[in-house]
Amino acid sequence: MRFLRSLILALSFAIIIPSQSFAIEIPASFQFQGAGYGHGVGMSQIGARAKALAGETATAILNYYYKDVAIEPLDDTKILRVNLGHLLTSAKIFTSTQDAVIQIYSGDIGDAQDAIPLAVVPVKSSLNFSILGSTVVPSIVTGKKTTSIPRSRVFTIRWSGTRYLQGVDGVISLSHTNSTKRYRYGQMQVRAVKASTLGYRLEITNSVRLADEYLWGVSEVPSSWPEAALQAQAIASRSFAMSKAGIYRASCDCDLSSEISDQSFLGYAKEIEKGWGHFWKAAVTNTAGLTLTQAGKPIAAYFSSSSGGQTETSGNAWGTQRSYTQTVPDLSSLDPILNPRFFKWERTVTQAVVAAAFALPNVVTLEIVLKNTSGTVATIRATSSSGVQKSLRGETFRSRTKIPSAYFDLVGVQNAVEPTPSPSP
């Protein structure tokens, strides 16, 4: 009887002693390996170079990467508003060109030739801008002397040697966020625009003619590349810009950004690049007006640096299918000689960046759920420590985490191998 009571007591203690808890491990980072750089939609620039080196023409290159299109001359003399500075709190404009003139006007004066300038900016002086509330605050700085100009919502800047202002051919410099770029053509607007969470910020745009002033400054491929590759890029860049021209975006006060979210616009430095700039300028001039079209309208001729061996469709990348973007072989992107930096790559992404990409407090596990026939990730899923799961399109995940492409696998994790069928064009 005593033995039975002792056994019952022992069992009672065993039941009420709390079991050991195990903390869920939250990885400090995640590892990825892949190939290619960019979204992979449309023309592969590495592939275009390879085809040009093999003797193919610009027309052949474009017809390989863009399907069911025509290449025809269109009027490309329209004026583009190109954003040079987005969500800024300050900026500075100046010129080092001897005898050049910079003038500032109140408002967005368009093509007006009878507008009266508020001030003329001397050489070796700078025109500085800051934001105060909902207005732009300009001032002229000459040495230690600062001259204030009445603030307003928008200002126009013109400089000599352009179609807006006669005189010495001036080159102006625009400095902001620790960078300085030079511009030769057009005019600029500085406007206070309300950002959704930041309040008012400066938006700086350059109004330039698409046919030459803009395209001469597009810097998407090295000017040392073969002529056919440069011409293919010139036609693709013209087509992309034509498809965006006149579609005003209030958030940037522009038609196009100067960043790779649209296409890179370097400005005057591209045109005058020592030893090579004239080759790019010639490619633009020798393809004057030639545009990729469907039903007579310019297409958004997407392009990217390289792929993972197959190009991607716009439907897989962004959810909207364009019939001219189809998956085609692009083996040159996997050539270590032609594409030394991105024929393959490895990246480590921190926990904080991955969690932010999914808008989760943390991520315990990642899983590639589906892949597209192109080799890109179709769906990637994250699970948090509380068991919440969220999924993203592979291209969205690439964009948010800044990894080179959506042609990737997870290192040390079982990856999906079954591709999803591509959508019909």
Sheet holding 90-95, edge to edge: 145-148, 135-142, 126-132, 90-95, 172-176, 179-183
Strand partners, 187: 207
Structure-block tokens of residue 182:
């030079």
Tokens standing for 234? 């010139």
Cβ atoms within 10 A of the Cβ of 59, count? 14
Let me know: does 138 contact 151? Beta carbons within 8 Å. yes
Contacts of 144 (CB under 8 A, 6+ apart): none
Q: What is the mean pLDDT of residues 129-150?
A: 96
The number of CA neighbours under 13 Å toward the Cβ of 130 is: 7
- State pTM to two decimals: 0.90
| Residue 424 Cα distances to 40, 200, 273, 365, angstroms | 18, 44, 43, 33
Burial of 15 per CB tally in 10 Å (0-12, 13-18, 19+) = exposed
**Cβ neighbours around 169 below 10 Å, total:** 12
Question: In this structure, how many other beta carbons lie within 10 angstroms of the beta carbon of residue 112?
Answer: 12
The mean pLDDT value for 272-280 works out to: 96
pLDDT value for 418: 53
Give, for 304, the enclosing helix (H) or strand (E).
strand 303-304
In percent, the amount of the chain with pLDDT more than 90 equals 90
Give pLDDT, residue 196. Answer: 87
Band (pLDDT 50/70/90 cuts) for residue 416 is low
Average pLDDT of the residues of the chain: 93
For the stretch 56-113, pLDDT in tens is 999 999 999 999 999 999 999 999 999 999 999 999 999 999 999 999 999 999 999 9
Taken in order 64, 68, 74, 79, the sign of the CA dihedral is negative
User: pLDDT at position 414, please?
Assistant: 59
| Mean pLDDT lowest among 8-17, 96-105, 296-305, 350-359 | 8-17
**Would you state the structure tokens that stand for residue 265, as one six-digit string?**
């616009």
Q: How far apart are CA 164 and CA 379, in angstroms?
A: 50
3-state SS, residue 369: strand
Cα 81 to Cα 209: distance, rounded to the nearest angstrom: 9
Contact 228, 51 (CB under 8 A): yes
pLDDT at residue 24, as a whole number = 86
3-state secondary structure of 235: helix
pLDDT of 294 above 60: yes
How confident is residue 123, by pLDDT bands cut at 50, 70 and 90?
confident
Phi-psi region of 384 (alpha: psi -120 to 50; beta: other; left: phi over 0): beta
Confidence of residue 22 (pLDDT cuts 50, 70, 90): low
pLDDT-derived band at 364, boundaries 50, 70, 90: very high
